[in-house]
Amino acid sequence: MAQVFTLLGVFIMTNSSTSLKRRKGQTKDQSKSKKSEPQVDAQADEIRESRFSEPLPTFPKQRVWTRIVVVLGTLIVVYFTSSQDKIVNLAKVKDSVNNRKQDVNCAQDYLDEVSEYKGCIPSSCGRVVMDHVVTNEEADLLLDLAKRGLSLGGGSGGASILDLHSGALSKGDVFVDLYSSINVSEIFTLEDFALYIRVRRKIQEAVAMNFKLQSDKLYLTKPTFFSRLTAAKAVTPHDEYWHPHVDKDTYKSFHYTSLVYLTSYGSDFQGGRFIFDDPDNVSTIVEPKKGRVSAFTSGKENLHRVEKVVQGTRYAITVSFTCEKKYAIADPTLKSKKKKQ
Ligand SMILES: O=C(O)CCC(=O)C(=O)O
Ligand SMILES: [Fe+2]
């Protein structure tokens, strides 16, 4: 706003000096005409003198005020429009990207923490989008897996999750343990787990490559889950997925977050874009697309949110990695999930 007032001040000063010049100019002209008409009588001189000593006529004053109003209005519009979001599209659905990376400065606390893990320190913090790590076929199979699992539960609000590791599944307003109520081999196959493990390993390699890490210094960590988002009204706070958050604040163990999208923005659902809320009101947007992987450092440098889904169903997998071995989790296996008696 300071700029607005500075500009306004400059404008008013410019305007008053113009008025002054105009008045000076008038005096000069008058003296010129005096020289060319030496016989002007005393009465006319008196009238001229009294005209110059009078206040300025009202017409220029109106012009000044009109200009002030116009300039002020323009500056206010400029001020408010410039304080609105600036959009950066990191990856749109129509794009097909290999490794589209955007570097950002690491948050100091993230850097301090991660610096303790040799081989797990990013070359720079940031985000990367990759459309060729997970194939379309793998994405379709993972989508089918997610639908099968979620068909046994499903939240009453707009967000449902399925965690293949723990068996946590949204059901109504709560989470249930899927593996305690069913024999897992009734719904999932060995191939499902093999696919899940293959995909998560490919993602781990891709994260390591893009952030220049040693892949074996990264460990899968929890929670790692499938998500299904719809436009249904939120029932519990868990349904409010659209709030800006920092993954590392929510989950202490996270150092790298990755997302695999199983459906596409624009065709399978509307809304639901992934947004990094960057400094200076910049919104950096990733449009979810089937098979697209988005990965980022999990610190405060990557504050983010998911837009509300307004139509359709959005499926994704959150796959998270840590540098801290004690937070590592094993890959899920079909065998270890037995129906509890
Ligand atoms: O599904 C997404 O795009 C992001 C989800 C997310 O922010 C999270 O799981 O922490
Ligand atoms: Fe997140």
**Residues 119-129 pLDDT 10s:** 999 999 999 99
Tell me how many domains the chain contains: 2
Look at residue 336 and tell me if it is in a domain. Answer: no
ipTM over 0.90: yes
**Nearest ligand to the CA atom of 263:** 1
The pair of structure tokens assigned to 282 is 């910049």
Residues 152 and 273 in one domain: yes
Residues 53 and 104 in one domain: no
Q: What is the pLDDT of residue 23?
A: 40
Catalytic residue status for 314: yes
Listed in sequence order, the residues at least 6 apart from 1 whose beta carbon sits closer than 8 Å to its beta carbon are 79
Residues of the domain holding 257: 86-327
CB of 316 sitting under 6 A from ligand 1: yes
For residue 232, pLDDT over 60 is answered with: yes
Which residue's alpha carbon is at the smallest distance from atom 1 of ligand 1? 316
Residues 29 and 160 in one domain: no
Query: What value does the mean pLDDT of the chain take?
Result: 85
Residues 201 and 52 in one domain: no
Residues 201 and 267 in one domain: yes
Residues 215 and 323 in one domain: yes
Beta strand ranges found along 186-331 (DSSP E): 219-229, 256-261, 269-271, 274-278, 282-286, 293-297, 304-306, 309-312, 314-322
Write down the pTM of the prediction: 0.78
> What CATH number has the domain bearing residue 253?
2.60.120.620
Residues 37 and 19 in one domain: yes
For residue 116, pLDDT over 90 is answered with: yes
Domain boundary among 18, 51, 82: 82
Alpha carbon 36 to chain centroid, angstroms: 74
Residues 52 and 183 in one domain: no
Q: What atom of ligand 1 comes closest to residue 316's alpha carbon? A: 1
Look at residue 276 and tell me if it is in a domain. Answer: yes
CB of 306 sitting under 6 A from ligand 1: yes
* Distance (Å) from CA 241 to ligand 1 centroid: 8
Residues 104 and 76 in one domain: no
For residue 67, pLDDT over 70 is answered with: yes
Residues 120 and 69 in one domain: no
Look at residue 145 and tell me if it is in a domain. Answer: yes
Which residue's alpha carbon is at the smallest distance from atom 3 of ligand 1? 274
Return the closest-CA partner of residue 169 out of 242, 250, 226.
226
* Distance (Å) from CA 248 to ligand 2 centroid: 9
Do β-strands 282-286 and 86-91 pair in parallel, antiparallel, or remain unpaired? Answer: parallel
